[in-house]
């Protein structure tokens, strides 16, 4: 028995371009991608051994689109953190250490300074 991975209408709406992957990423974060990474081996086994075809194909496609959005979001992160830091300082709020983190502001996979 195969359960639905996300509401099928959501995956279809993204597939058909009626909802942007960016909106879904900002709404759900990386949860669908993390979930897919855990169940992908089982879905592949299901596809190979029980029912040939593309069971879960729309959810898989959604996770690829969300991965792309995650990378785009990370590129903008340094600017968003700098704006947040300035706003906090203007309001007289303490700057949390994460706003000064070089790990957050470098692209994924880039070497440490």
pLDDT tens, position by position, 39-59: 999 988 888 888 877 778 888
**pLDDT higher for 10 or 102?**
10
Residue 24 lies in a domain: yes
- Is residue 91, in this structure, part of any structural domain at all? no
Alpha-carbon span 33 to 97, nearest angstrom: 28
Q: What is the pTM of this model?
A: 0.65
Which residues, in sequence order, are CB contacts of 13 under 8 Å at separation 6+? 19
User: Is 16 domain-assigned?
Assistant: yes
Nearest CA to 56 among 32, 31, 85, 23?
32
Residue 108 lies in a domain: no
Q: Is 19 contained in some domain? A: yes
Residue 106 banded pLDDT, cuts 50, 70, 90: low
Give the structural domain span for 44. 8-76
In total, how many domains does the chain have?
1
């Amino acid at each position: 028995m195969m359960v639905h991975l996300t509401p099928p209408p959501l995956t279809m709406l993204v597939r058909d371009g009626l909802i942007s992957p960016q909106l879904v990423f900002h709404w759900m974060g990386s949860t669908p991608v993390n979930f897919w990474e855990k169940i992908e081996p089982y879905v592949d086994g299901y596809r190979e051994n029980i029912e040939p075809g593309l069971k879960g194909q729309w959810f898989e496609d959604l996770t690829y689109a969300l991965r792309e959005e995650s990378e785009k979001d990370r590129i903008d992160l340094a600017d968003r953190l700098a704006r947040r830091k300035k706003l906090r300082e203007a309001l007289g709020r303490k700057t949390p250490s994460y706003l000064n983190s070089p790990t957050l502001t470098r692209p994924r996979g880039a070497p440490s300074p």
